[in-house]
Amino acid sequence: MCGRYAATANPDDLIEEFEIDADRVGDPARSLLKSPQDPPPGTPDYNMAPTKQAPVVLSRAPKGEGDPLRQLRLLTWGLVPSWAKETKVGLRMTNARAETVLEKSSFAKAAASRRCLVPAAGWYEWQASPVATDSKGKPRKQPFFIHRGDDEPLAFAGLYEFWRDRAVADNDDPQAWLTTFTIITTTADPGMDRIHDRQPLVLEREDWTRWLDPGLTDLAEVGELLAFAQPGRFAAHPISTAVGATRNNGPHLLDPLPASELVGVVDPETGEILGG
């Protein structure tokens, strides 16, 4: 958790929603994918997965000079620290735990000054059934789509990092730099914890500016934001197992699964077992 989410907005909508000063989505950016990303980066993606490039909001001064500008950029999901010897480490750093992010060497420096927001419509999580098993005798897993109950866009709290490829001599070559991000997770809200015990840290609009401020280096204040919780904001419904394959994409992934197709699913609101 969180290993998949829906990034369904167009950049123009994100620019307005997040009050972006500089649209940098079109900037050349290094990708880790061997094949072209599908859907293309910067377009709606209903099955965002690690190693893909995703729209991320950050605040940074251009070339390190002047006042910070709120930017929309494409970053690769899976944080690669600046000191990493290779990029594969990012696959183990798609998430960072809010409770320990200020202590872990992989995340601490980014948490102090390189914080970002990850726009999303919602995220996916798999619930292990307490009563039903699959063909291998293991608990049957049912995917859910989790979103705001008011259907407002989400902003996951995240961190970003720059990694320099020393094999590329030219510092200005876009391939010399890989910019990556991780999504911070926290304890799941009551009810949502019937699906999974963790969830992304979702910040409210009034905290966006403070979280993005690179001048905020007071770790106690950062810790207050990391401890944010407001139960009752989210709703969830079971969806098709098609979301499990990253090649599957499109709005249909969000469609509620008919009650007739539920097997041993726990209703997150009531705790009732749905489907024999």
Query: How many Å apart are CA 214 and CA 66, to the nearest integer?
Result: 13
Our answer to whether residue 17 is catalytic in this structure is: no
21, 67 Cβ separation under 8 angstroms: no
- 49-76 pLDDT, tens digit per residue, is 999 999 999 999 887 678 899 999 999 9
| Active-site option among 19, 86, 125, 261 | 125
- The span from the first CA to the last CA of the chain, in angstroms, equals 27
Position 257 pLDDT exceeds 70: yes
For 110-168, the pLDDT digits (tens) are: 999 999 999 999 999 999 999 999 999 999 999 999 999 998 889 999 999 999 988 88
| 235, 241, 244, 249 alpha-carbon torsion, rounded to 10° | -80
Q: What is the share, in percent, of the chain residues with pLDDT greater than 70? A: 99
Q: Which three-class secondary structure state does DSSP give residue 15?
A: helix
Phi, psi of 158 (to 5 degrees): -140, 175
Residue 265: pLDDT above 90?
yes
Alpha-carbon span 47 to 249, nearest angstrom: 6
Give the global pTM.
0.96
Class of domain 5-274 (CATH, top level):
alpha beta
Q: Are strands 22-23 and 69-77 parallel, antiparallel or unpaired?
A: parallel
116 part of the active site: no
Closest residue by Cα to residue 59 from 45, 69, 44, 47? 69
